Amino acid sequence: MPRAELTLTVPDDVWIGDVSRRYDAATFRILSALPGEDTGVGLAEMTAADLPELLSDVEGYDAVDSLELLGHREDTALVQFETDTPLLLSPVQGSGVPLEMPFTIEDGEARWEITAPRHRLSELGRQLDEFGIPFQVERIEQGVEADRLLTETQRELVDAAVESGYYDTPRECSLTDLSERLDIAKSTCSETLHRAEEQIIKEFVDRERAGPSLS
């Protein structure tokens, strides 16, 4: 299943985008978020050198219905907030993509990691565009699991080959050594490795050709 890393530009008219730009050295780490029909509730760590001033400013935004301090140490505060403009959660709801927590917001930019089917990722991109949230795809990985890419026999052989130094430069283990270690025929060892290498190389090439895209 594809895994994507995105950088979102939080619009200026969203309170957390505005405040994170005003305190551009601050870090907002969103630990959890729950969207409702008209509001959203979030749990966040806010870190800043001038923390009391930042918290006071956050509480002053009209869009922040409540801000509760749950704890703090030095320059970091744990807070629960409720907002009537949970804009960042709307595209997630609309696309049906689970948003991985925590994620950070710094200087007006949010960094997301998403794992979802490609059609869901495409819908997320459409939803972000619809809500006017600019974004950049940093990376997409296809995320094919090893037990789906290789058979159990192929995986065990590749693991043994790596551990024995078969793929080292210079090679520390010959094909004959490897086949004797595993007590299999040299021809079987060679053919099984070749088929495994074929799958690995093809998967690598497919990932490179796919490139980062949510379209």
pLDDT in tens, 63-106: 999 999 999 999 999 999 999 988 888 898 889 988 889 999 99
Whole-angstrom distance, CA of residue 160 vs CA of residue 184? 13
pTM of the shown model: 0.67
Q: How confident is the model over 172-215, as pLDDT tens digits?
A: 999 999 999 999 999 999 999 999 998 888 777 766 665 555 66
Q: How confident is the model over 124-171, as pLDDT tens digits?
A: 999 999 999 999 998 887 654 544 678 889 999 999 999 999 999 999
Which position has the higher pLDDT, 52 or 36?
A: 52
CB neighbours of residue 209 within 10 Å = 7
CA 153 to chain centre: 31
Whole-angstrom distance, CA of residue 144 vs CA of residue 2? 8
Predicted confidence at residue 178, as pLDDT, reads 94
